[in-house]
Chains A and B, each alone.
Chain A
Amino acid sequence: MHNLKVFILMLLLAISSRPVLAVSVNTLEVPDAELEVRKFEADGDRLLLGFPCDEGANAIEEKTAQMLAEDGIEVWMPDMLGAYMLPNLRDSLGEIPDQALLDLIESAVATGKQVYLIASGPYARVLLRAAADWEKTHEQKLAGVVLIFPRLFKGDPEPGKQPQYVDAVGTTKLPIMLLEGGHTPNRWGLTPLRQALSKGGSQVITKVIPQIRGHLFTGKDKNRTEEVVTSQMAGLIKVSLFYIQEFEQ
């Protein structure tokens, strides 16, 4: 009986000592639209701004955001496509107004936290565009960029020729951490991509995650390694932020 009391007491203490996490949906006025931003609030001084997440569509992204928030890293997941009623297609990304991206970053910077930008796949091109626009028009520095399996080719890469990248590549000075799957053709293009990203003045670190095919958040036929890495995505992102901070010192 005594043991049970002690157990219940310890359990209550453990529950009460966990940080209380608030998830809220805020609306931000942007040109010609209202942008919904899901915020996984945290007490720490770092804020991770996703570009442009599909609000509510992905449980894995949400779980990752929650895990990061538990570790003190605030996460914002804006629904950029939804705000402009754009279909989830690569072509839609170019239709997101520059000013909406700047307004969103401005709102994140206004929190006083260090703001990191993060995106995966083709969304990386929106992130790079936003980062470059911000640097051109604002003095306040962002902390860095995390690119997860970015897809930045301009068209299909022609066999036997150097790849061509979208115009946003090589336009920012921010430090960049780039994660790529070991089981993707893109891992073989990391050297030219790193060189292209560095042209704007960025320091770029690339890390290959072995046995991963990409599409961690959306793949339905994940192998065991992909399942493990997906469940530990928050850890990978924290390591990425650590490397970016090291750049700055």
Chain B
Amino acid sequence: MIKKLFIFTLLLVFSAASQATSLKAFGGNPTPPPLMLKDLEGKSHSLDANMGKVVLVQFWATYCGPCRKEMPTMNKMIKKLEAQGVPFKILAIDMGESAAEVRKFVDEVKPEFTILLDESGKSIQDWKVFAVPSNFIIDPQGQIRYTLFGGVDWANEELLAKVAALAK
């Protein structure tokens, strides 16, 4: 009886762990809303300009604990995918905060990817984002393939394999 309970607990723990890092196939309209925003230096970035790459579009905020925790793993993700030759880009959109607030966060956490500002919240509403962090994985043809809500280890091999497979 105790042995069965132990196995059941292990299964529960492993299933929870795998759910926590799993990308969810997107069942909605795969054509993403337009995305054109400026970074902290005032340079414009668009999703369209990244056709041909796998793109992680992330909506995040400085007040979001999981965002702070996972950003270093996003830096690792870029390096790992680069090493595999996967054309990859991260566009991380801050949810409605000021440039000063975002700059302070960036100085502390040091993300090595594109941070975009959306003080008006237009893209947040266009993309139907109601929780943070919310993630969209776009394939090289510009279609939304996966979504993921919550903080994860983006350098996780299983997750990286799914992202890399989109480039093949």
Contacts and interface: CB of A to CB of B under 8 A. Distances in A.
A219 to B, nearest CB: 11
Nearest to A157: B130
A2 interface: no
Interface in B112-168: 121, 124-125, 127-132, 134-136, 144, 147-150
B95 A159 contact: no
Interface of A: 153, 156-163, 182-189, 191-192, 213
Contact of B131 (A162, A185, A213): A185
A188 B63 contact: no
Contacts, number: 62
Given A156-B149, A182-B96, 5 more contacts: A159-B128, A159-B149, A160-B28, A185-B131, A188-B130
A187 B96 contact: yes
Contacts of B148: 159
Contacts of B147: 158-160
Interface string B50-73: 000000000101011000000000
- For the complex of A and B, list the 3 residue pairs with the smallest distance between their C-beta atoms, beginning with the closest: A159-B134, A189-B130, A157-B130
A223 B26 CA distance: 37
Interface residues of B, number: 28
Nearest to A212: B63
B166 to A, nearest CB: 17
A182 B135 CA distance: 21
B128 A183 contact: no
B144 A186 contact: no
Contacts of A156: 131, 149-150
B128 A185 contact: no
Contacts of A160: 26, 28, 127-129, 136, 144, 147
Nearest to B28: A160
Contact of B129 (A159, A183, A213): A159
17 contacts: A156-B150, A157-B131, A157-B149, A159-B59, A159-B127, A159-B131, A159-B135, A159-B136, A160-B136, A160-B144, A162-B128, A163-B130, A182-B96, A185-B95, A186-B130, A188-B121, A192-B130
Contacts of B24: 158
B39 interface: no
A213 B63 contact: yes
A153 B135 CA distance: 18
A156 B151 CA distance: 13
Contacts of A187: 96
Contacts of B130: 153, 157, 163, 185-186, 188-189, 192
